Amino acid sequence: MSNSKQRPYEQENYPASPEIIYYGDRKFNYTVIQEGVYPPVAQLKFTEAPNYFPVPDNYIIKTTWGRSNNCQTIQCSIYYIEGNPHYLICFGNNFQHQVVSVQSTFDASVELHNIITSNKKTAVSGVHLYGLQLKCIDRNRKSKLWALKLHDESSKTTQIRHAKVVHIQDVENVLRDAYRYFAAMESKLPREYAISQTHQEINAHMEQLIPINFVDLTPTITPDFSEEPDITDPIIVEQVRPLQFNSLFNVPHPPHF
């Protein structure tokens, strides 16, 4: 007879159903309350050796294990606070009791079992209490990360494409109405309203980089016509006035004979 252990497997239809049954050394029934997310790689933490499972943030799961006469149900949560995961386990008939650890799932499991049982042989690993070994949840989280990454890359590509169109419009003096006509004729061209929005965003960004100051050119010196003229002789005034007019408007002086 073979002494090899049964390979663990999951009975699930996740994420269509939050109910997951895990068969390993023990049977666990899980209900995913909140799937959580993986933090950025630089902040992501992992469980201890030998498995090194990634630890999600904002994660809540209800776990049930044990025989019918000694069944245990708890609710496990993980939250990152200041970059470090905090492991919370709520237990009791209404989950009114709790233990928390800032160390690991193992430490939280030890704290729990110190309260609910004195038999160390019945202790359950922290990883299994939190369901961090469940591949279906891990797979779904990673698929969301991949979709988000593709969306971000697509958005960046679109922004670059729009900026290039704005550049061409400025260099070639392409009017908005003309571009709108071209965009209507060619479906692959970005819509005119999208280009206009990009144009406004670029202008706003440039105004922040290069502030524009306006100079007030309004004359500040007002001539005072109430002053008495220095020359009052009417004959001299009549002779000087044409000369002032000619000088002002660059009219050539009449020849002298």
pLDDT on residue 1: 46
Closest listed residue to residue 100, CA positions, set 79, 117, 121, 116: 79
Domains of the chain listed by start with CATH number: 9-133 (3.30.160.360), 140-209 (no CATH)
Contact 62, 73 (CB under 8 A): yes
Per-residue confidence in pLDDT tens, the chain, 257 aa: 445 567 889 999 999 999 999 998 889 999 999 999 998 888 899 998 888 999 999 999 999 998 877 889 999 999 998 889 999 999 998 899 999 999 999 999 999 988 887 666 667 889 999 999 999 999 999 887 655 555 555 566 666 766 767 666 666 666 766 666 666 665 556 666 666 777 676 666 666 666 666 666 666 666 665 666 666 666 665 665 555 545 544 555 555 55
pTM, full prediction: 0.56
pLDDT on residue 193: 65
pLDDT on residue 224: 61
